[in-house]
Chains A and B, each alone.
Chain A
Amino acid sequence: MTTIDPVIDPTSDYDIFDPQYLLDPFPTIEQIRQSSCPVAHTERWGGSWMPTRYADIVAVAQEHDVFTSRQILVTGPPDGQEPEGAYAGVAAPPISSDPPEHHWHRRLILPFFAPQAVAKYEHITRDLCNELIDRFIDNGEADSAADYAQQIPVRVIATMLGVPTDMSDTFTGWVRGVREAGLVDQEVRVAARGNILGFFFEQVADRQANPREDDLITTLLNSEIDGQKVPVEYVMGVCNLMLVAGVDTTWSSIGASLWHLAQHPEHRQQLRDDPELWPAAVEELLRAYAPVTMARIVDRDIDFQGCPMKAGDRVLMSFPAANRDPEQFENPNEVIFDREHNRHVAFGAGIHRCAGSNLARLELRVALQTWLERIPEFELADPSTVTWAGGQVRGTRIAKVKF
């Protein structure tokens, strides 16, 4: 168990793993935002800067020539160098790529994630949600995070990748190894990364030997750039990204949204009364409960909003912070489904906008719709037992409800 020193002044010593911050980061973020130093700094976890205003966070996201993607984890080696050894050349394109390679790294995968392409996963997502609810609906209680939210995206991503969905628990363990325990323990992260890449090395070798029809890995392996087949490391990297970025993010978003709906019967009623609200409601829940914080590495010494950033420094882009800035959103801490303007950045901004955003939205909408159809009335069994993960991805991990 990691011990966290108490945080006295978050503007100069914030800790994204502080228990209070994990439980509810927004008071701390607001304190930093209202201070004379809205771009906070800390020496903890390898050191980082953390802007808290919407405009500054979006600027970091958009100015990709200054704020590079050499390292995107919120902790770890700031130079972005993965350890030597097996799979040392495999990253997570395009999220870990900078221009000019970023362009083709991203261009090749975007067609798989366009709205018209992900629509075909709606019915399998709905069937999956119904099967999960069948398992606990007669019990009158369930863990909305562990029994439901956590179970959904991993199976959808496994289906999309053409890998066995019955390995879902294994995949979930690996993802948590990279993104939860691995953030504070490099050995755990390296081991989880090795498991993921070892698995995809075998999957890629299998598709090379036995190409499949309508298969994402086969299609990627056959892709060409400038008349050349793409490198195998690229294909493994995309698989790595889809698993690591496509599982705990969406699960966290579904979980946090259910946690909200459990406490707001009036919002459940609103969705029953006006089903046309669903698309806007999903966007508003994404705004209020944006799960993801990403990191950037500063390319050269610069002054950013009065802060002397040095080449190699890490900058955190807290999309949850951006989405609660009162300068950008009226009453930012209130969930307002019919909010007039909602330029939320739950999926980031600029050239690295989450490639899976259309799939994530679909999963979030279907998961919530199916839950509310089957379990229209529910509440938290005991709010004091709810646990949250944070750091890179914020969402509920235990959230028992009764109905």
Chain B
Amino acid sequence: MKVTLDYDACHGHQSCAIAAPEVFGADDIGNAVILVEGEIPAELEAKTRRAVGNCPEHALTIED
């Protein structure tokens, strides 16, 4: 599983980083950054799905 971020759609809610802090973080203005390169480790998949489902701007997409 991979996750992609549409940075222009992100408005810095940080909902993703709250749900999955191992996978998402913040840049200097508080917008999302993806901390994991490539495949999401299996043990973080559930958290990552929750994070994607919490984004009010639909800025995150999962690619299975």
Contact = CB atoms under 8 A, between A and B. Distances in A.
Interface of A: 58, 107, 110-111, 113-116, 279-280, 283, 340-345, 347, 349-351, 353, 357-358, 361
B53 A340 contact: yes
Query: DSSP class of B's interface residues: helix, strand, loop or mixed?
Result: loop
Nearest to B12: A353
Top 9 closest A-B pairs, CB basis?
A341-B53, A114-B30, A110-B29, A353-B11, A343-B56, A279-B18, A115-B26, A349-B56, A345-B56
B29 A341 contact: no
B26 A357 contact: no
Query: DSSP class of A's interface residues: helix, strand, loop or mixed?
Result: helix
Interface string B1-19: 0000000000111110111
B57 interface: yes
A344 B29 contact: no
Contacts of A340: 50, 53
A343 B57 CA distance: 8
A343 B54 contact: yes
Interface of B: 11-15, 17-19, 26-30, 50, 53-57
Contacts of A341: 50, 53-54
Contacts of B19: 279-280
A353 B15 CA distance: 12
23 contacts: A110-B12, A110-B28, A110-B30, A113-B30, A114-B27, A114-B29, A115-B26, A115-B30, A279-B18, A280-B18, A280-B19, A283-B18, A341-B54, A342-B15, A342-B53, A342-B54, A343-B55, A344-B56, A349-B11, A350-B11, A351-B11, A357-B14, A361-B18
Contacts of B50: 340-341
A358 B26 CA distance: 11
Nearest to B21: A279
A345 to B, nearest CB: 5
Given A283-B18, A345-B56, A357-B13, 9 more contacts: A114-B27, A340-B50, A340-B53, A341-B50, A342-B15, A342-B54, A351-B11, A353-B11, A361-B18
Contacts of A116: 26
Contacts of B17: 115
A58 B56 contact: yes
B53 A343 contact: yes
